Every structure is written in structure tokens, then in C-alpha cells.
Structure 1
């Protein structure tokens, strides 16, 4: 078949050359007895692999499936291996084909068809891997867009030609030049490295936060240090894979430094403040704090730039780290420190007020959340009001009197019941109205 493609674009001519080359190979295979023998071996290898899979797969699934609820290392390994059972058919076909390849080359001196079959079975294995085994969304997209096209080119024998073509194309970025292959390799390697970095960071952070013997601030510091180390290592590996020497980034680093000094002062200040907060442990996750503007909330997350506070009505407040350094912040929690509260009440003027402190202190001490240390409940006389004698009881608790805790409310209930049980009257306002009749001449 001869076509005049001289007037067509270069890529059309190259595509036509590849198509003609493929046609010549296919025609040669169809006319060759050795090729037909190799086709027969491929079919036989696939059938044997299929029959073997029908026998082996149920047995493997039964052996690799651990008992429900088992969490040992062996059970984890068995669950991991169970994921790859769907690869059994294409891998067995590949193995049986490899056994037949040596025989074919010994008899016919050729093995192009059977080599193509082996590559095709690897393509099937890659397809099963992407469709059935990989569950992570990012890796699945990466497999569909990169792994499967690469395996298809490898199966057709075009991978080397495509690689050579990409190595010839160059991309310039200032004084640095990349080949198109280096860019693609960097994108692939960067995607995989930073996915691995994210996964490693999640696993490392989860392990660190389980170490309850460490202070919360220390756990935060360790988690952040691990995060910087993991992604720093991933960045250096990526630079090495792409072929960019780290010394060539010196100019870029200097530019970034100037930018931080002039245009990113606040961001840099927040990052440095975050490091100081982690090192000093002044505020960390779980602390209940009051900001300088009166807003209150529990710290639920710390980032390199800001603290995330959650109020008891469900709102999130993003507070820059710098505010925790430069403004007045009241930390009510400090990871479990005791807090003092007081409850006000009054009794009637008819009461023997000398009995009130002992009654109220004994009642408040019954509350399971009220502490004996640093001080037990203390009832104090505060004044003589319009309607009764004013008292207040001070008590210490571990926690905040808000949200799920109702310490003051519970204490007032205890005071009410104790005073009622002892016949002590809790007054309410009384007003005396005097009516004076004006004197004047009597009516006729």
C-alpha cells in the first residue's frame, strides 16, 4: 500500500508510518507457521491460567481472610495480600506464557508473538490493578491517565519510540532547560512522592497523637517536625529525579527571602509565632481560651498560620498565631488545670446566718465535679441586701462552666435543696406602700 502523504503534516506522516509498520508485522504473523504456533501457546497459557484461577482463587480467599475482629500483625498482612487476589489470572497467564516462550524460541528461533502476548497480559494486570485494587481516588486517576496509557504503548512496542521523541523536545524556564520527558517524569514522580508524603504524614501524626504520655504541646511539635521532614525529603527527591541541582535554586530562594521580608511580613510573623507557641506550649488543642476582644472557644486545630477555635454554638474562629503572642489571651484550660467559680444566693433576715456556711459548704462538696484541692468549697458573707442577707459560695472544678458542663447550675440546685431541708427561707423582694390622706376642710 503506497500513499502520497508528502503534503500532510509531519505527525500524520509519522502516524501513517507506524500504521504501515504495524500492518507489515500483522501480515507477517498471519502468514507465519511459527506465529500461529505462538498464538496457540498464548491461548493455551490463558486457558490453563483461567482453569487454575478457578481452583486457586477460592482457596486463597479462604486462607487469606482472617477471623472477624482480629487486629494482629499477621491478620493485617493477610488482609493486605487478599487485596491482590484479582491479579491471579493475568499473572498466571504471564507466567505460563514465559514458560512457553523458551520452548518456542528453541524450536522456531523467534518469539515476537509470544513476547507481545506477555506484554498484553501485563496490560491486563495493570487494568485489574487500577479498576479493582486501587481504592484511593488520586491513585486511581493517576493509574487511568498515566499507567494504562504507558502500558498500552509498552504492549504495542511504541514506548521506546515515544520516550525518544519526548527526550528530544525541550522546555526552557529562564536559564534552566528541561526535556519534555523530564517534565512528565517530574509530574509523575511528584504526584507519587507527595501522595506518599501525605500518607506517611497521616500515619506518623496518628502514631504521635496516640502517645498519651507526651504533653499535648510536645505531640504537636513532633507532628509538625515530622511533617516538615517528610515533605522536605519528598521535595529533594523530586529535584533529584527531575535533574535540577539544588544550587540552581539559590537565586529563587533569595527572591523568596526578599518577598518574605517586604510583602509577606504578616505571614512570616504568623509562621514564627506558631513555632513559638508549639515550643512554649502556651496554647494547644483542647484549651478553652478567651480572646482580647471577648470571644471565647476551644482550640480544635492548630496550623502553621493560625489557631482554629470552636465556640459552644458551633462557630469556628480563625485566629492568627501572632495574636496569641502580641495580645492578651486568657487560657481557662491549660490542659486540665482547675478553675474557680462562685454562686450567689440570699437568705431571709430571720435566719441564723451563722449556720449557713456549714450547710452550704457540705451540700456543694457533694457534687462529684467539685474539688477539695486547691481549696474546698468556701461560703462567704457578701453583704446585707434590700430583701435578704447576701452570700456566695466559691468552688473549684476541672473544666469550663459552659457547653456540656453545668457546674454553677448544679451547685445552685444543691444550695436550694439544702436550704429548704434546713428550713431556711430564700427571700424575694418585698415592698411596703404607705398611703397618707391629705388633711383639709371637711366636706359640708
Structure 2
């Protein structure tokens, strides 16, 4: 029992002496007072400064200029004002205590705590992207906490000394972690930059094909630069990517042929402009609809009934495609009808032609409606009327349906019969005599 008490006193006595020494040391009290003063002063300044910054950085809602977007982006950093201001004031206090007392461990710890609070506010209040928020919670906040406790240097040393072999290459855990963080941040910035550049390009006055090509070129350039910057910051030598690029080439040769083919086909479509967003197209396989979006891999067709069809870009190159041109172009359609054999067919063009021409959607150019004799059928004389409209006949417009209504009404008003199927039955030898 006595040995146990001596062992306990051996631990308690140094701790007691340390606490007493810390309490009676005036340098510690000065550091603690400076920490409290720095935080209180930061709170006071922030309460005065935040309304001014909010008013200065908040543009009108209808203002969508680049400068307005930059002001809104800077406004997102407002939650960091308090912890960063406290960090800056504490840093000044640390210089004062070190110059007077030659010590500043306590105030340095407080400074690291304020930096931890800044990181926590950044993750909690500023990050809205789910992937970035998860990265902040799993990486940034733990590292900030480790830094605040003063354990960052030994942990970083251990991560740097732990090497992970990967084929002919090898990376330290620190390098892999740094690459992961930098890559996610850079590609998030790349996606944000791509959204901004796409919005700016879509506002420019240029052909739709050129606009789509510019968007794709900007996207490739932005993410290519983001990848190279991420590799450079993470310390990964670009020469070590030779193995990966070789494997990628083999993958494209065997498994990614269609993806590469569709990508190249998409670039060709954008360059030639033979099919672009807004065109109504019909493919050889029967797919038909308006192109609403063109991606690097496929084109999105919207049918008249609202369905979306994903068509690989390669199909536009290797198969026959009927392009009804963009919205506003003239297209010719025809409607067939029949009249009775008892009709004076010379009257039909003068009856049907004006009736179709009177429809508000029928064009007089390139030519007026044309009524042509198409053939002699089993039940009646067959005609076809050809007419031009501005646009396409689909589920929304139904031009041919309206034309058929006009033909029916015109023929009825003229007293002309529209025949139905009729058959003449001849019984050879006559009817058998009735038995008595």
C-alpha cells in the first residue's frame, strides 16, 4: 500500500508543482488576458463590420454581371471574419508576450484554436456541395483539430514516411492525402468555372453549333488545367503518368472504342453543324425528335409526346439522318383523299386548293397548295394535296389533321361524295330456280 501511495505521489507532485507554477507565473495570466481581449475585440469589431460588408457586397437580385457574381462569392466568406480576426489579434498578442516575457505557448495555443474555429465555420457555413462538405468533415476539421492540439508535426512526419507501392510507382500516405484534397478542391473550382463560362458563352450571339463547340472546348481546357495543377500541387511527377496513359491507351483500344468514337463524332457534329440543338431530326433507326442537348457522348432527342431519347453521336455519322432543319424552316407535306367516280374531277383542284390555302398555317411560298390526281382506286378516284408549312407536323401542331378537316368540309359543301369501299358481286349462271 505504501508503495502504491509513493507511486501516486510521484505523479501528483510534479503535476501539482506545474499547476502552481503556471498559476503564479504572470506571463501566463498576461497571455490568458490577451486571448480574452482578442476574442472580445474581434466580436465587437465583427458586429460593427458585418452589416457594412453585407450591404457593400450584396448587389441587386436582377444584377447578373461578372462583378455582381464576384461580390456574391466574396460575401460567402463572411462567417470567417470573426475567427480570422481573433486569430490576427491573437498573433499580435503573441508577438507582444514573446518580446516581453520570452514565452507565448498559451497564446499560441489560443491562436491555433481560433484557426480551428475558422476551418469549422468554413466547412459548416460555406461549403454547400455534398462532396466538399464530406471532405471538410473527414479531412479538414480533423487536421485542424490535430494542429490546434500541437500534434500535427509528428503525424505529418509519420504520413510522409509511410510509403505505399503502386506498380512501378510509390507514394507516401501524405502525398496521396494531399493529392486527394487538392484534386477534389481543384475539380470543384473547375466545375464552378465551367458553369460560369458556359453561362457566359450561351449569352453570346453565335450559331448554336459554334456555341456548343465553345462550351465543350472550355470544359476540356478547364478540367485539363485543373488536373495538371492538382498533380503539380500534390507533388506527383507528370513523367510517372506514362504507365497510366499507356494503360488508358490500351483501355481505349479494347473497351472504350465506342466512347472514343462517340466523343470524336460529337466534335465532328459541332464543327460541321449538320445537326445541332433545336433541329428536328429523324434517324434511320426510326428515332425522331428535337435535339434539346448535345453532350460529349450522345445527343438528347425530345419527341412530340415529351419522351427523351439518348442517341449516341456515332449514329449521326454512320447512319442516314433526315434533318428537318431548325425551328422556323418551311417543310412540305401531303394529304391523300378520294372522291366518287361520279364526280367531275376537273372541279376538285378549284374546290380543295383554296380550302387548304385558307388555313392560317399554310404558306403561299415557296408555292401554293397543289392538288394532283394520284390514281384510280378500287372505290374512288385518288387525289393528293401538297402544301408548305412553317415548322414540322408533329403531335403539337398536327397540320395534316387540320388539312383533312378542311378537305372534308369543302367536299361536303360542294356536294361531292367521299367514297367508302364498294364491291360488285356477280353470280355466274344467275340465281338458282326456286323449288316448288
Q: How does 1:95-110 map to 2 (within 5 A)?
A: 95-110=88-103
What SS is found at the alignment partner of 2:362? coil
Report the secondary structure of 1:401's partner residue: coil
1:178 aligned partner? 171
The counterpart of 1:392, out of the listed 343, 366, 384, is 384
User: Which residue of structure 1 lines up, in the alignment, with residue 267 of structure 2?
Assistant: 275
Query: 1:286 aligned to 2:278?
Result: yes
> Do the aligned partners of 2:328 and 2:391 also contact (CA within 8 Å) in 1?
yes
1:371 corresponds to which residue?
363
1:230 aligns with 2:222: yes
Q: Which residue of 2 aligns with 1:113?
A: 106
SS in 1 for 2:211: helix
Cα offset, 1:395, TM superposition:
1.4
CA–CA distance in structure 2, aligned partners of residues 115 and 297 of structure 1 = 67
Q: What is the aligned residue count?
A: 421
Structure 1, unmatched stretches of 5+, are 1-21
Residues 1:340 and 2:341 are matched in the alignment:
no
Q: Does 1:401 align with 2:393?
A: yes
The answer on whether the counterparts of 2:327 and 2:391 sit within 8 Å (CA) in structure 1 is: no
Deviations 1:20-78 (A, max 9, x none): xx999988644522112211221122223333434443454445444453445554454
Establish whether residue 196 from structure 1 lines up as the match of residue 189 from structure 2.
Answer: yes
Structure 2 gap segments, 5+ residues each: 1-14
Q: What corresponds to 2:8 in structure 1?
A: none
Contact 1:348–1:424 under 8 Å retained in 2 = no
Matched with 2:311 is 319
Match of 1:427 in 2: 418
Cα distance, 1:132 vs structure 2:
1.7
Distance in 2 separating the partners of 1:428 and 1:114: 102
Q: Is the 8 A contact 1:29 1:113 kept in 2?
A: no
How far apart in 1 are the matches of 2:363 and 2:408?
20
Distance 1:71 1:265 in 2: 42
Q: Which residue of 2 aligns with 1:413?
A: 405
Structure 2: how far apart are the matches of 1:249 and 1:94? 41
Q: Secondary structure at the match of 1:285?
A: coil
Deviations 1:383-430 (A, max 9, x none): 34455543322112233211322111122233344445x534342437
Q: Is the alpha carbon distance of 1:84 and 1:249 closer, same or farther for their aligned partners in structure 2, counting shifts above 3 Å?
A: closer
Does structure 1 residue 356 correspond to structure 2 residue 348?
Answer: yes
Residues 339 and 419 of structure 2 are in contact (CA less than 8 Å); yes or no, is this contact kept in structure 1?
no
SS at match of 1:308: strand
Does 2:140 match 1:147?
A: yes
DSSP-derived class of the 1:393 partner: strand
- Deviation track 1:131-183 (CA, whole Å, cap 9, x = no partner) reads 12222222222221222122222222222222222222212222322222111
Length-normalised TM-score, structure 1:
0.81
Matches within 5 A, 1:35-46: 35-46=28-39
For the aligned residue pairs, the C-alpha RMSD in angstroms reads 3.5
42-51 or 76-85, which moves further after superposition?
Answer: 76-85
Please give the secondary structure, in 2, of the residue aligned with 1:294: coil
Q: Describe how 1:18-57 pairs up with structure 2 within 5 A.
A: 29-57=22-50
